[in-house]
Amino acid sequence: MNYREEYKSKIRTARDAAQIVRSGDWVDFGCYQGFPSLFDEALAARRDELEDVKVRALLITKPLQIAEQDPEGEHFTYNSWHMIGYERKLCDRGLCKFIPMVFRNLPDYYRRFLSVNVAVMGVTPMDEHGYFNVSLNNSNARAVFDVADVIILEVNEKLPCVHGLENTIHISEVDMVIEGEHEALTEFPSIAAGPVEEKIASSIVGRMTDGACIQIGVGGMPDAIGKLIANSELKNLGVHSELLVNAYLDMHKAGKITNLNKRGIMRGKSVFSIAHGNQELFDWVDNNPSMCCAPINYVNGLNVIGEIENFVSINSCIAVDLFGQISAESAGTRHISGTGGQLDFLTAGFKNPDAQSFIALPSTFTDKKGVMHSNIRPIFDGGDIVTDPRSQAYIMVTEYGVENLAGSSVWERAEKLVNLAHPDFRDELIKSAEEINVWRRSNKR
């Protein structure tokens, strides 16, 4: 069959396509910019006919109608693998439930353990060979397609076509296609860095050398680092990161990214799984042969990262306790984000002797009432989720310095972490360290 004819025969309205969902089903939505907004609206409109429909995705940034139209959660339950802004607020309202994960394992969770009754994903228009491109979001897309009983594509004319691995699906694999108008892609502008972020960024950049291959995440810290690198003498840098963020655009515009120091692993290519930023970033990625948008089991695979020379990963966390346990996904019991790729990069950081994995955090957090709290805590006693066990803790950075916890005894960790704390909290932390028996008599005060 001619692909265009096959395509036409599979076109349905969003309303008709949504009829396929039955009570009790698990439905997977495309993540982030692959969110199928037309299908979501049509499914939400069926609310009163359906019970116990579970929807799974991550990084949804637009109002999710199956949650917004069902504020008591009586018909739909939304589950997220990783939350940012909007989903965090949905979670606060009881309308988003977190699914714990290690990012590199996400495709395997689908292939080994999960059922998907209906998969619905936003994709680019079909090309002349009958292929659709999953565009900016390729973390687990192919794994979802591989296990889904029914595959529905929502064609989004605004999505860029991105070069990559396992990032296409052929019309012959698809059950239904939805067409329609979409809003502009959600943009994430760069965040202005404050003096704390700049101090931390300068400690990290000072430890980097020419040819470094860099992984960084979202937030003010990575943006500060990107700007500092863009204005530094560093050269010949590489990109290998689960997220491609605006910071890389700064480095690119400054001519820093060549990817030529990568030997064996995608030389000449910027490798990532999800592009997250502003329209200028999306335009840079569009049909650019220097990009490779690959599944997360590849990008965050320990053996892959372990092969990359001069690898530098920079992530942030919410708090660390005196044992060196790192919490990056909750503040007490309030869920904030997820493990994402953080543990992958800490683990892989050990595979190559010249790799460095930094966890950066401001030493304090000022709450909405203006009260300052230490992000270095004696113990986690408020329900904080441990993202990285102390056995995986590695190079910690605050505005007060840089300390490597790997291989350190409990008393050395406590001392190093006290050094990283804000001076106003150090005495209190030492007292707590004595109480929990991790302070050594000879430790300095």
Ligand X SMILES: CC(=O)SCCNC(=O)CCNC(=O)[C@H](O)C(C)(C)COP(=O)(O)OP(=O)(O)OC[C@H]1O[C@@H](n2cnc3c(N)ncnc32)[C@H](O)[C@@H]1OP(=O)(O)O
What does the per-residue mask of binding to ligand BUA show for 58-77, with x meaning CB under 6 A?
Answer: xx------------------
One residue of 56, 82, 240, 252 binding ligand BUA per CB under 6 A: 82
Q: Is 242 a catalytic residue?
A: yes
**Least distance CB 81 / ligand X (angstroms):** 11
Residue nearest to ligand X according to CB distances in the complex: 217
Among 70, 87, 223, 242, which residue interacts with ligand BUA (rule: CB under 6 A)? 242
Q: Which residue in this structure is represented by tokens 């220097």?
A: 290
Bridge partners of 366? 372
Please pick, from the candidates 277, 341, 349, 378, the single residue that binds ligand X as defined by CB under 6 A. 341
338 is in an annotated binding site: no
Residue among 87, 242, 329, 415 flagged as catalytic: 242
* Contact track, ligand X, 29-58, x by CB under 6 A: ------------------------------
Residue 36 and residue 120 in contact, taking contact as beta carbons nearer than 8 Å: yes
Q: Identify residues 311-330 at the interface with ligand X (CB under 6 A).
A: 315-319, 328-329
- Is position 218 annotated in a ligand binding site? yes
The string of DSSP codes covering 381-440 is -S-PPPSB-GGG--EEEETTEEEE-TT--HHHHHHHHHHHS-HHHHHHHHHHHHHTT---
CA 356 to chain centre: 19
Residue 420 engages ligand X in binding (rule: CB under 6 A): no
Give the C-alpha distances (Å, rounded to integers) separating 394 from 3, 65, 346: 52, 41, 7
Amino acid sitting at position 193: A
Q: Given the rule CB under 6 A, which of 136-144, 340-348, 413-421, 422-430 is the region that contacts ligand X? A: 340-348
For residue 159, the number of C-alpha atoms closer than 13 Å in the C-beta half-sphere is 30
The DSSP secondary structure of 171-231, one letter per residue, reads GGG-SEEE----PPPP--PPPPP-HHHHHHHHHHHTT--TT-EEEE-SSHHHHHHHHHHHT
Neighbours of 309 (CB within 10 A): 17
* Least distance from ligand BUA to the Cβ atom of residue 32, Å: 8
Instruction: Return the one option of ligand X, ligand BUA, none that residue 329 interacts with (CB less than 5 to 8 A, by type).
Output: ligand X
Q: Convert residues 336-355 into a mask of x (bound to ligand BUA by CB under 6 A) and - (unbound).
A: ----xx--------------
Residue 219 annotated as lining a ligand binding site: yes
Task: Report the site for ligand BUA in 134-193 (rule: CB under 6 A).
Answer: none
- Alpha-carbon gap, residue 201 to 114, rounded angstroms: 40
- Partner whose footprint covers residue 59, from ligand BUA, ligand X, none (CB < 5 to 8 Å by kind): ligand BUA
**Nearest residue relative to ligand BUA (C-beta):** 340
**What are the tokens at 445?**
């005060």
The correct pick among 135, 140, 297, 342 for binding ligand X (CB under 6 A) is 342
- Residues 6 or more apart in contact with residue 154 via CB below 8 angstroms: 14, 30, 36, 37, 38, 39, 120, 121, 122, 123, 177, 178, 180
Residue 188 interacts with ligand X (CB under 6 A)? no
Instruction: Pick the closest to residue 359 from 155, 230, 200 (CA basis).
Output: 200
Q: Hey, which residues between 195 and 224 contact ligand X (CB under 6 A)?
A: 217-220
Q: Residue 412: which residues within 8 A CB-CB, separation 6 or more?
A: none
Which residues of this chain interact with ligand BUA, rule CB under 6 A?
58-59, 82, 103, 217, 242-243, 274, 340-341
Annotated binding site for CoA: 217-221, 318, 341
Which residues of this chain interact with ligand X, rule CB under 6 A?
85, 88, 217-220, 243, 315-319, 328-329, 331, 336-338, 340-342, 365, 375
Active site residues: 242
